[in-house]
Structures are given as C-alpha cells and as structure tokens.
Chain A
Amino acid sequence: DTEVTQTPKHLVMGMTNKKSLKCEQHMGHRAMYWYKQKAKKPPELMFVYSYEKLSINESVPSRFSPECPNSSLLNLHLHALQPEDSALYLCASSQDASGGSYNEQFFGPGTRLTVL
C-alpha cells in the first residue's frame, strides 16, 4: 500500500467554525508533513512530524494546530481561519525525516479548503 489518504476532499467553512483535516498512511513511514498550496504556486511547508513529534513549525499562525495521534495518522485542526487561508492542503509522508536518506515524499490528494 503506497497510498496517503486525506479527508475530506473539499471543505467549506466560516471564519468562526472549527474543523479538522485528516491524513492517514499505512506504509510504516515515520515522518509526516503538512503543506499549504495556493493556485499555480508551489507547496509551502507548514509542519513536519518525525516519530510522532513536531520537529518543524514554519512559523504557522496558531489558528492551525497539528496533531499526530499515532505514526499512521496526522490531523490539522482549524479554528478562526481567514479567507486568505483558502487553499489546497496537502499531506505527505516519507520513510523518515532525518538527514542522510534519499527517500521521497508520498503525497495525498489534498483537501481543498474554502473559508467564507
């Protein structure tokens, strides 16, 4: 199984809502990532989890809250978002995140988020 799944595929939310994005992989990978991607732009790294611990937070606003309950699952909790947060949110996983390995990142299909 070389698949990363993400739910939901589409999400529309108001600025006062609380919602969560879910990502799952069963490849035994120990590194998981959240990216934000605006239309026709490259993905921007938000968070990296390595062995279920947050190892990188790219100065993401606190209205985005990541969570890694176990090695297969990654959540992104959303609260009080702004319209400019509307984007495609991609999850990825790789064998590990440490230096010295060449492993590629496998990406999920993404969640298209619209904030009204």
Chain B
Amino acid sequence: AQKITQTQPGMFVQEKEAVTLDCTYDTSDPSYGLFWYKQPSSGEMIFLIYQGSYDQQNATEGRYSLNFQKARKSANLVISASQLGDSAMYFCAMREIGGGTSYGKLTFGQGTILTVHP
C-alpha cells in the first residue's frame, strides 16, 4: 500500500527567505507521480508542482521546486523568496500509475501548515 509522510505539522519562515517542506513516500509501484498542493484558509486545493518517478530532472514551477531523491523516497518542496500569500496548508500526494486499476487515486500526506512572517 502506498503511504505519504509529512513530518512537519507546522513551519515558520521569514518573508523573502526560502523554506523546504518535507515529504517521504513509500510504494512498491515503480511508476508513480508525486504532487504538491496548496490549500489556503478559503479551502480550495491549488496544484503547485508535479514530479514523475521516471523524470530525470527535478521539477520547477516559478518559485516552487521539487527536490526529488528517488533512492531516499523523498520529494521535498522548496519555496524560494517566500511571500505572505504563501501562508497556507501544503499537502504532498502520490498516485501510483503502473497498476491498471489505479483509477487516479491520490494518497495525501497529513499536511504542513506554513506561516510566513513579515
């Protein structure tokens, strides 16, 4: 069974500094996708970044980058130059792809609440 672990319940960062949110995963499927979502207090889940298990390079999307270490089964999110609007809950999620009956099921971690201080 797949499992996602986010060990940081809460993180604090000063505005304009970088922050790393940790995520480790466990799966026996060699083919999988890793996702990060942001959820502000308003409730909407916002897709941030994606990393495929066979991707050779770390994914980047603007100020977001994913530090993918396959052997260690970790997929940490790095946010550079933090902004006050980055304060939110962040979820790491995984989807197994190799099995034909995966049906798009996402497994989420417990989340990390990020607070950006001015």
Residues on A facing B (Cβ under 8 Å): 31, 33, 40-43, 45, 48, 50, 55-56, 88, 90, 92, 94, 96-110, 112
A104-B110 contact in complex given A43-B45, A56-B103, A56-B105, C-beta closer than 8 Å: no
CA–CA, A94 and B104, complex, Å: 8
Main secondary structure of the interface of A (DSSP, over half): loop
The reply to whether A99 and B97 contact each other, CB–CB distance below 8 Å, is: yes
Contacts of A50 in B (CB 8 A): 103-104
Q: Is B85 in contact with chain A by the CB < 8 A criterion?
A: no
- Which residue of the partner chain B has the closest CB to A95? B104
CA–CA, A94 and B45, complex, Å: 14
The reply to whether A112 and B43 contact each other, CB–CB distance below 8 Å, is: yes
The reply to whether A48 and B105 contact each other, CB–CB distance below 8 Å, is: yes
Q: Is B30 in contact with chain A by the CB < 8 A criterion?
A: no
Main secondary structure of the interface of B (DSSP, over half): loop
Shortest CB-to-CB span from A95 to chain B, Å, is 9
Instruction: List residues of B (63-118) whose CB comes within 8 Å of A's CBs.
Output: 89, 91, 96-106, 108-111, 113
The reply to whether B103 and A48 contact each other, CB–CB distance below 8 Å, is: yes
Q: Is B35 in contact with chain A by the CB < 8 A criterion?
A: yes
The reply to whether B106 and A105 contact each other, CB–CB distance below 8 Å, is: yes
The reply to whether B97 and A109 contact each other, CB–CB distance below 8 Å, is: no
Residues on B facing A (Cβ under 8 Å): 31, 33, 35, 37, 42-47, 50, 52, 89, 91, 96-106, 108-111, 113
The reply to whether B104 and A31 contact each other, CB–CB distance below 8 Å, is: yes
The reply to whether B104 and A97 contact each other, CB–CB distance below 8 Å, is: yes
When A and B form their complex, which 6 residue pairs have the shortest distance between CB atoms, in order from nearest?
A: A42-B108, A97-B104, A107-B45, A110-B43, A99-B102, A109-B44
- Could you say which of B31, B98, B108, B110 has the most chain A C-beta atoms within 10 Å of its C-beta? B108
- Could you say which of A31, A42, A48 has the most chain B C-beta atoms within 10 Å of its C-beta? A42
Contacts of A56 in B (CB 8 A): 103, 105
8 contacts between A and B (CB under 8 A): A31-B103, A40-B113, A50-B104, A94-B104, A98-B104, A100-B31, A106-B47, A107-B46
Contact of A108 among B44, B109, B110, B113 (CB under 8 A): B44
The reply to whether B100 and A90 contact each other, CB–CB distance below 8 Å, is: no
